[in-house]
Structure 1
Amino acid sequence: MSEDIRNYLQESAAPYGVELSAGQLEQFQTYMELLLEWNEKMNLTAITEPKAVAVKHFLDSILLLPYMEGGDTLIDVGTGAGFPGVPLKIMRPQLHLTLLDSLNKRLRFLKEVLGQLGLEAAVVHARAEEGGRMPNLRAQFSFVTARAVAPLNLLCEYCLPFLQMGGTFLAMKGPEPEEEIAAAKKAVYLLGCELEGVEHFTLPGGDARSLVRIRRIKPLPSIYPRHGAKIAKSPL
């Protein structure tokens, strides 16, 4: 039995204006237990201390909520162990969530998590650039999220094809994203989008984070996304 993180998560979230119900806290507790249990068999996270999971995975994810107004569809690209998609679904059950990852074993873990938490989400086994060409995913989402997947200029070509008109890409980055943002300007423009803003926040314990918000203002050109090897070899 893992450490009980429910009170700790609630107390950690309170200064950010985030309230969690008893049911949500129970779901996060179960999620943490499954994460640590499965992590012994496969590499899901380097963070294994329960309170660190609560802050660096769960709270970090749910701090996106204030930037998710005006839409109810989200695709989490390269979701890995489910961050930030699953915590956002716990907090907003009406969210239509799609979890996309290229590793099938991670998706098996996520299906187990969703089942145990009583949550519904679409789980897609594909590389991001493949998903961006699928008619049921391309330009279909109000929000796209990605966390620690790639530099922003590459990430834009992987993630922006999923955005519908007016939709927002929420790229979770480290404390100083300015250099990445400058390097991604061309990609943002070519993919029919604009930089909407950058948010900075600090987690309990002092870890600094940023959130880069990019919005679709024009239709996506049909040539994007390119093949994965091309994206890596010659970024936009």
Structure 2
Amino acid sequence: MPTLLENRIADLLEPYLAGGPELAADLIPRMSRYLDLLMLWNAKTNLTAIREPAQLVQRQLGESLFAARFLPATGTLLDFGSGGGFPGIPLQLAFPDLRVTLAESQGKKAGFLREATRSLALNAEVWSSRVESMPSDRSFDIVAMRAVDQAAAMLPIAQERVAHTGQLLRYLPASEETHLGEWDLTQEAQVPLSQGRIALWKRA
């Protein structure tokens, strides 16, 4: 028995998808399988503090997918501090041709990400170490940060991984300033049903 019926998941995701780009035709059934995996693993591993399935769909999956309207459907994306796979796995499900790297140094969470990529047959890599340990020449078209521990300290490390023509994507609380040194703000939007925002920057 699925955690939530697919039509219920579709209804919960609608505010985040409305007016956005065309996404993968099989997005909802695959999101359903992802949700089931999250609920199963979250019972034994703290992937997210959210336990109620509908809230999980909205707060994690929906907010992750909302960023799709600002991103290319191809290229490379680094999910910095992926945790339970947010936003990297929903974005990979939305854009199958996007090459996603899920970076997570905590062993149990990295184990979940490996199981999720296997079970969902994702074209995604799990980097189960710190981003600083990646080869120095690795860079990405998009570097995404969402609910990263010690975000201020991690931000310079994330910026170093943004390709010359790439963008940095962050999920921000309402009160956080969008000024980012020598970087230009290219997009900013309120996340539906939330006080949080999505913002993207490129190198000045």
Q: Could you tell me which residue of structure 1 aligns to residue 104 of structure 2?
A: 101
Aligned to 1:27: 30
Q: How many residues align?
A: 201
2:148 match: secondary structure: coil
Please tell me whether the aligned partners of residues 2 and 50 of structure 1 are also in contact (alpha carbons under 8 angstroms). no
* Cα distance per residue 1:130-187 (max 9 Å; x no partner): 33xx2352xx211010101146543421211111112111001122222xx35xx3xx
- DSSP 3-state at the match of 2:191: strand
CA contact (8 A) 2:6 2:29 kept: yes
Structure 2 counterpart SS, 1:61: helix
- Answering whether residue 199 of structure 2 is matched by residue 212 of structure 1, we say yes
Change (3 A) 1:33 1:71: closer
User: 1:56 & 1:92 partners in 2: Cα distance?
Assistant: 20
Q: Structure 2 CA distance, aligned partners of 1:94 and 1:22?
A: 13
Secondary structure of the residue aligned to 1:64 is: helix
Q: Deviations over 1:17-49 (max 9, x none)?
A: 356666221111111111111112211111111
Q: TM-score, normalised by structure 1?
A: 0.77
Contact between 1:31 and 1:117, CA under 8 Å: does it hold in 2?
A: yes
CA separation of 1:9/1:70 partners in 2, compared to 1, >3 Å: closer, same or farther? Answer: closer
Q: Distance in 2 between matches of 1:102 and 1:96?
A: 19
Are residues 1:38 and 2:37 paired? Answer: no
Give the match's secondary structure for 2:64: helix
Q: Which residue of 1 aligns with 2:145?
A: 146
Q: Secondary structure at the match of 2:92?
A: helix
Q: CA deviation at 1:114?
A: 1.2
Alignment deviations for residues 47-102 of structure 1 (CA, whole Å, 9 cap, x no partner)? 11111111111110000011113751100000001000000000000001101011
Pair 1:198-2:188 in alignment: yes
Runs of 4+ in 1 over 4 A off after TM superposition: 18-22
Measured after TM superposition, the shift of residue 106 of structure 1 is 1.1
Between the aligned partners of 2:199 and 2:58, the Cα distance in structure 1 is: 20
Partner of 1:12: 12
- For residues 41 and 70 of structure 1, the distance between their equivalents in structure 2, rounded to whole angstroms, comes to 34
2:153 partner SS = helix
Q: Is the 8 A contact 1:71 1:142 kept in 2?
A: no
Q: Percent sequence identity over matched residues?
A: 29
- Alignment-mate amino acid for residue 172 of structure 1: Y
Report if aligned partners of 2:73, 2:98 keep a CA contact under 8 Å in 1.
Answer: no
> Matched residues in 2 for 1:21 and 1:73: separation?
17
Query: What's the counterpart of residue 94 of structure 2?
Result: 91
| Within-5 A mapping of 1:64-143 | 64-69=67-72, 72-131=75-134, 134-137=135-138, 140-143=139-142
RMSD: 2.1
Task: Between 50-59 and 18-27, report the one with greater CA deviation.
Answer: 18-27
Bigger Cα Rg: 1
